[in-house]
Structure 1
Amino acid sequence: MNIPEDAVQLRIFLGENDRCGHRPLYEAIVLKARELQLAGATVLRGPMGFGQSSRLHTAKLERLSEDMPFLVEIVDSKEKIEAFLPVLDGMVTASSSSVLVTWEGVKVLRYGKVS
């Protein structure tokens, strides 16, 4: 049995149209996380959601949104996530986007080959 390791899961809620320079913000975040050798990052596209504006974003055909909700999840040690936060802050500030970031402690179980 694997021993659970303490880690942190960072969740970044943003929109499909949020940009960082010439790239989508979600893509820029994942590429920067990879460059900084964080353990892993995943982008999820939501079929429906709303944020602080309460404007509904949905993929339903009768109201097709062009700014679908996206979620970037990053998992790593507390120290590496803390070091990443100022980088993320700079990217979000430069993009003039409105994002929501959450942080929670998680237990990580490793299965399979770990390289």
Structure 2
Amino acid sequence: MPVIKILPHAEYCPEGATITAAPGTSICEALLDHDIPIEHACDQVCACTTCHVIVREGGRSLSEMEENEEDMLDRAWGLEPDSRLSCQALLRQQDITVEIPKYSINHAKEGK
């Protein structure tokens, strides 16, 4: 199973983490399954950018980006060339390293 290394994020994963997930799992699903509460305001249907991540290593091994994801990413805070919506990026066999950006465009978080 591929390994996902999550770089430290002050709110969601202060110490960073290393998790595994089955190929075909989205990055978002894998993080949530391992109690890393990444935002996903649209319930993982590619209708927002709150689950935006930056893939620091292994990005070429993920599923290809479809047009709707590309269109949504234009709205993401801190967009970089290796940005993906974690709800749309599916794991394959290679390990990856991701960074959760410090901010998102979600102004109304649940429980906040």
| TM-score between both structures, scaled by the size of structure 2 | 0.30
Greater share of residues in helix: 1
Which structure features the higher share of strand residues? Answer: 1
TM-score by length of 1: 0.30
Structure whose CA Rg is larger: 1
Q: Which has the higher contact order (CA 8 A, sep 6+)?
A: 1
